[in-house]
Amino acid sequence: MNIFTLAFGLLMIGGGIYCLARLLVSLVTGQWKRTLKVWLIFFGSLGLVCLMLWLGDPYERTEVAPQELVGTYKISEAAKRRLSSTGYSDFMGTLILKANGVCGASRLPACCVHGDDESQGRFRGGYVSFNGTWEVEHIPDVFKVRLELRNVTVDGGSHEGMTDSITLTVLRGKPRCLAFKIFNGDFDDLVYEIQGKD
């Protein structure tokens, strides 16, 4: 949770308490028409904010069929810029999801697997290759791809922080994109875009 989410939540709670207090006062004083306007403004504004948040939400929340995700993924330009500022320089790596549930990756920046934002601390570097399996999961209200990793190798870095299972978030829109999560106090997305079907 970031500071803006917290501030928005507190603002909504404060607005709700104010509207409830106005309702109680109006019931006592008989000024319900004025209070009705306050309630309409509050809930209309809340609805508008929720609509804007939903439209700006990058994560897929409707059903995702596994065949939609089959293909070869490469790093997005925005993710390249972000990682090049931390010290990564090779962005030729790919992630492959096959229709039979098998996955493989070659030369992914290591932060995609260990999940640390290396711009905030020690740069470990390295490039990860692996094979394994994949499946689509619904956790709790977004769709994700779970990768079970086998034969993990790290070129130019260490196995520190590596796990045998990672979860990528499915992003809305077509063509499909997947987001690796890196942690820097909050979770940020490193987006990989589908390049072609396998």
> What is the structure's pLDDT at 72?
96
For residues 29 and 112, membership in a common domain is answered with no
pLDDT, mean of each 10-residue run, the chain (198 residues): 59 73 72 67 64 63 91 95 89 95 95 81 84 92 93 83 87 90 81 84
Cβ distance 162 to 46 under 8 Å? no
Q: Does any domain span residue 156?
A: yes
For residues 14 and 92, membership in a common domain is answered with no
> What is the structure's pLDDT at 65?
92
Domain ranges, residue 173: 66-196
> What is the structure's pLDDT at 61?
82
Domain tally, the chain:
2
Q: Does any domain span residue 61?
A: no
For residues 89 and 180, membership in a common domain is answered with yes
